[in-house]
Amino acid sequence: MKNIKQKISVLMPVYNCEKFLNKAIDSILSQTFENFEFIIINDGSTDNTSSIINTYKDKRLKLISNTQNMGISHSLNKGMYYASGEYLARQDADDISDQDRFKLQLEYLKSNEVDLVDTSIIYIDEDDNYIRDYAKREYNPEETLSHLFFYEINHETIMCKRSLIEKNKIQYHDRPAEDYC
């Protein structure tokens, strides 16, 4: 990871996700909190993913491309290496973030003096029709790391202090579920 420049570094690994990619990218680029870099790691996609990403001209977007598919863990570690934000945020290529997500997450992190926060999620179908809500959960600070790695945290929605990652030497491991360390 590099010297801190942006407030938030958003990491989004992508692999053959052309169907939902525009909505995912648009939801990040339209955030009401704008001090972020958006690191998209294209993990050797063979569909139109690269072409879709290249249509965006936003200066906050930074593309890293793997020449072949290395897996989500490798891609996330690579993204963390290039990240320059004080905070790290995750987004999946088939997710849509609320426009106030970053603003609200930062406010919560600061006002509650915690290192990591995730969000609730709403399940929708591929036509954006509501399916159901996800159950609400809250963990005290002592439980956070164990829940991050062993229980239910919506990993694709986390925002955390970069210092949490560095202090605990957290890296993603090549496993079927990258967020299960």
- Ranking 26-30, 65-69, 143-147, 161-165 by mean pLDDT, the lowest is 143-147
Residues of 102-113 as b/e, b for ≥16 C-beta within 10 angstroms? beebbeebeeee
> What mean pLDDT comes out for the span 108-129?
84
For the cut 50, the answer to whether the pLDDT of residue 180 exceeds it is no
Contact 151, 181 (CB under 8 A): no
Q: What is the pLDDT of residue 57?
A: 96
Question: Does the pTM of the predicted model rise above 0.85?
Answer: no
Confidence at residue 179, expressed as pLDDT on a 0 to 100 scale: 44
Which of the 8 DSSP states describes residue 134? P
- Look up residue 157 and give its two tokens: 């929605």
| Contact present, 111 and 32 (Cβ < 8 Å) | no
pLDDT of the residue at 52: 97
What does the pLDDT average to over 38-46?
Answer: 97
Average pLDDT of the residues in 109-137: 80
67: Cβ contacts below 8 Å, ≥ 6 apart: 44
Residues 93, 47: Cα–Cα separation, whole Å: 14
Centre a 10 Å sphere on the Cβ of residue 24 and count the other Cβ atoms it contains.
Answer: 20
Residue 133 has pLDDT above 90, yes or no: no
Contact (Cβ atoms closer than 8 angstroms) between residue 6 and residue 162: no
